[in-house]
Amino acid sequence: MLCTATEMVQESAFPPALDTTRHAVFLDFDGTLVELVDDPQAVAIEPAAQRELAGLARKLDGALAVVSGRRIADLDRFLSPDRFAAAGVHGLERRRSPDGAVEMLAGPETLDPVRDRIASAIESARRLHLEDKDTALVLHYRTAPDLQDLAERIMAQATEGRDDLVVMHGDCIVEVHPAGMDKGKAVAAMMEDAPFAGRIPVYVGDDTTDEFALRHVRNQGGVSIKVGGAEKTSVAEFRLPDIAAVHAWIAAAS
């Protein structure tokens, strides 16, 4: 099911092959490395695909990061036993190397009033699911698409008057977190330091929240790749049709 669409015209060129001596690779997680499913905790990466991913990180001398709306702890769990550099919760969590510490750019307290309002609002809308990521709250409606308007209304009411927060609309979700960070800013920050600095950024993502990073990378002369068909409009220059194509493209890296 397609829950969202973004702006701008389509180009559908197949991306160039990865060059592991020159590229820095940033990969979205849900919808890019793993298939979308109803239960957010039920995603799984194919073992062969995970081996290729770990192999790519080695070939790039570590210049590979997962850039996700997920918490880094959740990414680690889904990708265990491998660990990667990562930007979690749209950049509000950051880990510059696989074994480094996770920097938190915001705390959970700021969302407490919103958390309470959403929890009480969904008591009468039990088919909506609240995912609490500490520094972000997500209302899921993949299994209740008829409740999209209600989910958006609940989020709008719960965040009314809070200019310090930003509401984002993703694939069958509406999400809130502290303002000031997005995936484009997260990629820009990671590109400032080794092992990413000096390389050409490559970004692969499927959702509206990836558009910040796709735009940033395209503006920097990097390689921007949208995952999905023409129904998903994007600023990206290149396109891979689906998750299987992403993994095949990763496996072909030289």
Ligand X SMILES: O=P(O)(O)OC[C@H]1O[C@H](O[C@H]2O[C@H](CO)[C@@H](O)[C@H](O)[C@H]2O)[C@H](O)[C@@H](O)[C@@H]1O
The residues carrying an active-site annotation are 28
Among 15, 26, 31, 247, binds ligand X (CB under 6 A): 31
Among 52, 175, 182, 211, binds ligand X (CB under 6 A): 175
Rounded to 5, what percent of the chain is helix, strand, coil?
Answer: 35, 20, 45
Bridge partners (DSSP) of residue 178 are: 165
Q: Least distance in Å: CB of 131 to ligand X?
A: 5
Taking a C-beta distance cutoff of 8 angstroms, is the pair 227, 200 a contact?
no
Instruction: Please report, as residue ranges, which positions from 71 to 130 form the binding site for ligand X (by CB under 6 A).
Output: none
Q: Among residues 95, 41, 105, which one has the least CA distance to residue 66?
A: 95
Q: Least distance in Å: CB of 154 to ligand X?
A: 16
Among 53, 138, 204, 225, binds ligand X (CB under 6 A): 138
* Encoded tokens for 136: 């972000």
Q: Number of residues interacting with ligand X: please give it, by CB under 6 A.
A: 24
28 binds ligand X (CB under 6 A): yes
Q: Could you give the CA distance from residue 143 to residue 247 in angstroms, rounded to a whole number?
A: 27
Dihedral over Cα of 32, 35, 41, 47: its sign: negative
171 binds ligand X (CB under 6 A): yes
21 burial via Cβ count (<10 Å: 0-12, 13-18, 19+): exposed
Cβ closest to ligand X, residue 70 vs residue 95: 70
144 binds ligand X (CB under 6 A): no
Cβ closest to ligand X, residue 142 vs residue 162: 142
- Own/partner pairs, 109-115, CB within 8 angstroms, 24+ separation: 110/164, 110/165, 110/178, 111/135, 111/136, 111/137, 111/165, 111/176, 111/177, 111/178, 114/158, 114/159, 114/162, 114/165, 114/176
Where is 220: in which H helix or E strand? none
Interface stretch with ligand X, choices 15-23, 37-45, 185-193, 227-235 (CB under 6 A):
37-45
52 binds ligand X (CB under 6 A): no
Instruction: Please report, as residue ranges, which positions from 214 to 243 form the binding site for ligand X (by CB under 6 A).
Output: none
Interface stretch with ligand X, choices 137-145, 149-157, 191-199, 227-235 (CB under 6 A):
137-145
Question: In the complex, which residues of this chain contact ligand X (CB under 6 A)?
Answer: 28-31, 36-38, 40, 43, 68-70, 131, 133, 138, 140, 142, 170-173, 175, 207, 209
